[in-house]
Amino acid sequence: TETTTKTVVVQAGDGENDEISDPYHSPRVFKLNYEEMEQNFKIYIYPDGDPNTFYQTPRKLTGKYASEGYFFQNIRESRFRTLDPDQAHLFFIPISCHKMRGKGTSYENMTVIVENYVESLIAKYPYWNRTLGADHFFVTCHDVGVRATEGVPFLIKNAIRVVCSPSYDVGFIPHKDVALPQVLQPFALPAGGNDVENRTTLAFWAGHRNSRIRVILARVWENDTELDISNNRINRATGHLVYQKRFYGTKFCICPGGSQVNSARIADSIHYGCVPVILSNYYDLPFNDILDWHKFSVILKEQDVYQLKQILKDIPDNQFVSLHKNLIKVQKHFQWNSPPIKNDAFHMVMYDLWLRRHVIKY
């Protein structure tokens, strides 16, 4: 067996063996499970619902909630889709709260639409009742979607929620639900690379003060000479892509939660090669059963904001270099593509779903 194991690891191949290393909890397990998923995983998409309203197709693939749009498009064109429900490991409920939001639907109406749709699937097909929905999932990146679906208790209690706002204090269940990374695509500038020597600013944040932690962050640090902290988004009038360019010259990018614990800034930081500093309590980070976030980010409690500068200055240079190297290795996992490609955000979400497929069907 020893020999077989070695062969398997070497076959990570196409130059990838060196990549499947530090940022992963268990590189070998991830690699073997991923291959099994690629070969075997099958998802059935309920065909119901008019594609021109809130079902089946994404609203768009750009902006703050692009992750939801990409997932809807990717699942349809992926090898995982099956038209035979008897082959399926999991069932996708293709309702998009993002599209409802785009058409100005109120929370109350969204909840009614979601509930009616799911109840119609339960009445029409036998699949939900075999497991009470434990092998069903839905995807929503919009915080509005989280609120809308919370009004349908049997759905959020039983089905797998794939959501961008996975806060433990709003009923997110880590072993059942999946944290969807919130990625603002397309990125305005190319990915940051091995450019440690250009990163001369200690830390950067600019944004709206739409949460308590952001208000404190701005109040405590906005006049500091070593931290580049602004309590407003950088005005476009100051120059083209000034905000994005700041990421390239900074070691650590502060990612405080906004109106929800999550922030698209985390994926921005990863893309631009700036080590994210997670400043959110109760946050289930995307892919954290696969990736060891401590190897490529700094995770703090909100109360640490008062010691922020000292905490970051105390991180030795060699540790920063190691965090930055690992960050570059995980960039591919926080990128959506159409069509999807190996190891990208879509496949990582699928892998998380694959880990949750073991459901007894009656």
Q: Report the candidate in 334, 340, 336 with the shortest Cα–Cα distance to residue 77.
A: 340
Residue 346 has pLDDT above 90, yes or no: yes
Please state the φ and ψ torsions of residue 26, each to the nearest 5 degrees: -145, 90
CA dist list (Å): 109 to 116, 199, 261: 10, 48, 25
For the segment 348-362, the average pLDDT, to the nearest whole number, is 87
DSSP β-bridge partners for residue 81 = 43
Is the CB of residue 100 less than 8 Å from the CB of residue 61?
A: no
pLDDT per residue over 122-166, tens digit each? 999 999 999 999 999 999 887 777 778 888 889 999 999 998 866
pTM above 0.75, yes or no: yes
Residue 188 has pLDDT above 70, yes or no: yes
For the segment 71-99, the average pLDDT, to the nearest whole number, is 93
Angle at 264 between CA 261 and CA 307, to 5 degrees: 55
Look up tokens 């009470």; give the residue.
132
Give residue 243's pLDDT: 85
DSSP β-bridge partners for residue 256 = 279
Question: Residue 225 corresponds to which amino acid?
Answer: T
